[in-house]
Amino acid sequence: MLNRARRIVIKSKAEIELMRQAGSVVAKALAEVRKNVKPGISTGELNDIAEEVLNRHNAKPVFKGYPSPHAGGQPFPATITACVNEELVHGIPSYDKILREGDIFSVDCGAYYQGWVGDAATTIAVGRISKEAEKLLQVTEQALYLGIAQAKTGNRTGDISAAIQEFVEQNGFSVVREYTGHGVGRNMHEDPQVPNYGEKNHGVPLRQGMTIALEPMVNVGTWRTKLLDDGWMVVTADSSLCAHFEHSFAVTDGEADILTLL
């Protein structure tokens, strides 16, 4: 989702455990969506599936009602964002949008649980997909984990960003510039911003207790994107395929603690 930066908030161990509970609800919702992705299902139906999981766990959607910062934009109306193929982020689910064999489907989900946010995303193959699409999904997901591996005390946000960019570009793809990872906690968007491109040893120093939602967005073609007239949907500027993976995690003095796992 779009970034509205707030100050960095260091979380206590107890607060991180509450964020883990929120993240677990999101992970369950995404797992249920993945289980139901198939040719012929609509993105509106998948939204209903995710919302039912949140309701069952006494969590509330973060995205629903989130205001668009663009002129004339309406509050986001759904629990998930739903994007297909060249659609990158912030797509509104619809019962008229039907998944087809060979599509790739990107889904982002956020949940409030006991006052804390869980935020994660994944891109899912719909049936059999092209070799290029398979590589795109593999590279984007691996870039996420390479970025997370740099998230430890003593490093900076630029170390995360550089690891993502270097791996993606080595594999012939491009990283989106306009949308970034971000701090997360009681609010969906907090400081710091964490771009998916950058230089090592630059950016904000990482401190134990920082919590970040890291979300590489990777395009087959140009890194440039465009916003559609609904004020929400973002697509690749050249209509090339794109993928999106995201986890929320806590910075530690060792390996980062991923909070959006089952």
Number of domains in the chain: 1
- The pLDDT of 184-211, averaged and rounded, is 97
- Give the type of residue at 65: G
Q: Which ranges of the chain does DSSP label H, i.e. alpha helix?
A: 13-36, 43-56, 131-149, 157-170
Phi, psi of 255 (to 5 degrees): -70, 135
Q: What's the alpha-carbon Rg for the chain, to the nearest Å?
A: 17
Q: Is residue 3 part of a domain?
A: no
Predicted confidence band at 70 (pLDDT cuts at 50, 70, 90)?
Answer: confident
Residue 74 has pLDDT above 70, yes or no: yes
Share of the chain above pLDDT 90, in %: 94
Q: Is residue 71 part of a domain?
A: yes
Task: Report the C-alpha gap between 234 and 82 in whole angstroms.
Answer: 11
Evaluate if residue 4 carries a pLDDT over 50. no
What confidence category does residue 69 fall into, taking pLDDT thresholds of 50, 70 and 90? confident
| 175's tokens | 């990283």
Per-residue pLDDT at 1 exceeds 90: no
**pTM of the complete model beyond 0.75:** yes
Kindly report each contact of residues 63-68 with a partner whose C-beta sits within 8 Å and lies 24 or more positions away, as own/partner.
63/1, 63/108, 63/109, 63/110, 66/1, 66/188, 68/2, 68/231, 68/232
pLDDT value at 3 more than 70 = no
**Averaged pLDDT, 173-184:** 97
Bridge pairing between strands 104-113 and 190-194? unpaired
- The reported pLDDT for the residue numbered 71 is 63
- pLDDT score for 171: 98
* 183-188 mean pLDDT: 97
As a whole number of angstroms, the distance between CA 197 and CA 228 comes to 24
Residue 4 or 20, more confident: 20
Share of the chain above pLDDT 70, in %: 97
Look at residue 5 and tell me if it is in a domain: no
Across the chain, mean pLDDT equals 96
Residue 6 falls within a domain, yes or no?
no
Stretch 241-253: mean pLDDT, rounded? Answer: 97
Query: Does residue 77 register a pLDDT over 50?
Result: yes
* Residue 198 contacts residue 212 (beta carbons within 8 Å): no
DSSP element (H, E) containing 235: strand 234-236
Condensed to tens digits (0 to 9), the pLDDT of residues 135-148 reads 999 999 999 999 99
What average pLDDT does the segment 74-103 reach?
A: 97
Query: How would you list the strands of the sheet with 190-194, edge to edge?
Result: 190-194, 181-183, 211-214, 247-250, 257-258
**Phi, psi of 129, rounded to the nearest 5 degrees:** -120, 170
48 φ, ψ (degrees, to nearest 5): -60, -40
CB 182 within 8 A of CB 3: yes
- Of residues 15, 20, 40, 223, the one with CA closest to residue 126: 40
Instruction: Write out the residue range of the structural domain in which residue 53 sits.
Output: 13-258
Residue pair 203/158 in contact by the 8 Å Cβ criterion: yes
Q: What is the pLDDT of residue 7?
A: 81
CB 140 within 8 A of CB 86: no
The pLDDT score that the predictor gives to residue 30 is 99
Give the CATH number, domain containing residue 54: 3.90.230.10
